[in-house]
Every structure is written in C-alpha cells, then in structure tokens.
Amino acid sequence: MTSSERHLIQGQGRWNYNDQCYKDTNNVFLEPGLFSIVVLAHGRPENTRKSVLSTLDCIRSYDGEVEWVFVENGGNKANLEFFDGLNVERKVIIRQKNYGINEGLNQGWAISRGEFVMIHENDWEAVKQVEFLSLAKQIFSEKGDVGIIQLRDPFDPHENHGRGKPLYNPWSCTEEQVKQAGCRVWREQTSKGHNYLMADFPNGFNNNPVIMRKAVYYQCGPYPEPPVGADPRHGETEYQARVAKLGCAIAYIGVPLYWHMGRVQTQGF
C-alpha cells in the first residue's frame, strides 16, 4: 500500500484508508471484462510501431479498461523506447532473449490480468479503423460458448496460406466448399445489430490476431515450447488439437480488420 500520487490520473482520489475492501475476484489474473493485448516483438521497430499504432487508432474510443503487455523478444532498443513512450493507462514491458515465439507469448499470457487476451505479433496491421473491442465484448457476453474470436481479414492478400481451405479459413470459402469439408458456417447478430460469423471447424486456433477467453488458455494449457536446438516453429497444430478437443465455438469478428505485413502474395487457392 502506498499513498504516492505519482501514478494517479488527473481528478483521481488518493487512497481512502477508511474504505477497506478488495477486488471481487479470487483470481487477480482474471479480471472480469478486462482486455489484455499481448504484443510480441522480435526487432523490426518500424513494423512494431506501425502495427501497434494501427491498433491504438482502432480502440481509442473504447470506454473499457485495456492492459497492454509488451514482450520484446530480441532486446531491440528502439522497440523498448517506443513501448516505454506510449501513453496508455495500464502497461507492462518484458525484455528477454529470443527463445521462440511460443515462449514469448506464454510469458505475456502468464502476467496478463484480463478475462480476454488478444494475441498481437508485431507484423500485423489493422487496415480498417473499427473499434473492435466493444464488438468482441458483445459476442463473448452473448455467446458463452465462443472461446476464440478471429480478427484477420479472411481475404488478406499477404501470406494467407489458409485462404480457400475450409478446415483452416472457412470464412473465405463458398458454402459448397464448407459443406464438402464437413464443416458449417452461419451468421449471427449481436443485440446491438453487429453481424458476425461462427463456424464449427477443427483448426479454430492460430497465431494470427485473435482474442481468446483466458478460461480457454487455462483449460488447454500453455503453448508448446520447443527446446533450444529443436524445430522452433509455432506448434500451432498441437494447440489446434487441444482447442478442438475442448470444443469451444469459434467466431469471426465480421470486419476485414487485420492484414499480415509480409510481402508474399497469396498465389491462388
């Protein structure tokens, strides 16, 4: 407990020692309604800046609480200075050596305090300015079985290897393609009139920009981490199987929001 005014925002009162109470939760790392945005950076400060600022522009009008968790996995000084200089209300910065994407993301998950966590690597850019956190909160609130909301534009022209494959990106497929694959896609609408999509397909988890309930992460466990010297790839396939076994529903936000910042163009289906 401290009486310091250093971190109080303008108009905020100091501690009131006559009001002795605690947060109404048994798990301080699962704050109801809080969004945590875990940003994983591996150098490339020009990409990091463009990526993070595009998201900040989207959610600037969001009136709920947001926690930012910045993980610099390569010790890049420019990224650290950028993160430190961002004027956001709740912020954590982690600096560590690069032992792989999944270890960095697990670090972010471990200290995040939100009920909902957005995975945001530093090579994804929001190409449509839409305040999507309110939309996500509506979906999660009204559809208790939704565990993951995908934010990537299904028709993203950059390195979009799942496009046209109903088992990985059913939002980009025709009704006939989805039906032949034994999957199903349907439309939903929130009580406030926002249209979005839901689907039952086996590979609803990926490392593209997604928002997950922390309850799903708790049930599926941390992302698989390869030991040093082994294949360092994401381990997405194993985690997809865990999420599929859990059986949570998958939604697509309904807005063509994020594009990969790579420059390899998708070559057909």
Q: pTM of the entire structure? A: 0.90
Tens digits of residue pLDDT in 236-251 = 888 999 999 999 999 9
Three state DSSP letters for 33-94: EEEEEEEEECCCHHHHHHHHHHHHHHHCCCCCCEEEEEEECCCCHHHHHHHHHCCCCEEEEE
Residue 31 to residues 113, 137, 211, 240, 248: CA-CA distances in angstroms?
A: 6, 14, 15, 26, 21
Residue 268 has pLDDT above 60, yes or no: no
Q: What integer pLDDT is reported at residue 12 of this predicted model? A: 67
What distance separates the 2 farthest-apart alpha carbons in the chain?
Answer: 66
CA–CA gap between residue 166 and residue 209 (Å, rounded): 19
Q: Using 50, 70 and 90 to split pLDDT, how confident is the model at 265?
A: very low
Residue 267 has pLDDT above 50, yes or no: no
Tens digits of residue pLDDT in 58-69 = 999 999 999 999
CA–CA gap between residue 64 and residue 173 (Å, rounded): 34
Q: What is the mean pLDDT of the chain?
A: 90
**Do 39 and 69 meet the contact criterion of CB atoms below 8 Å apart?**
yes
DSSP character at residue 158: B
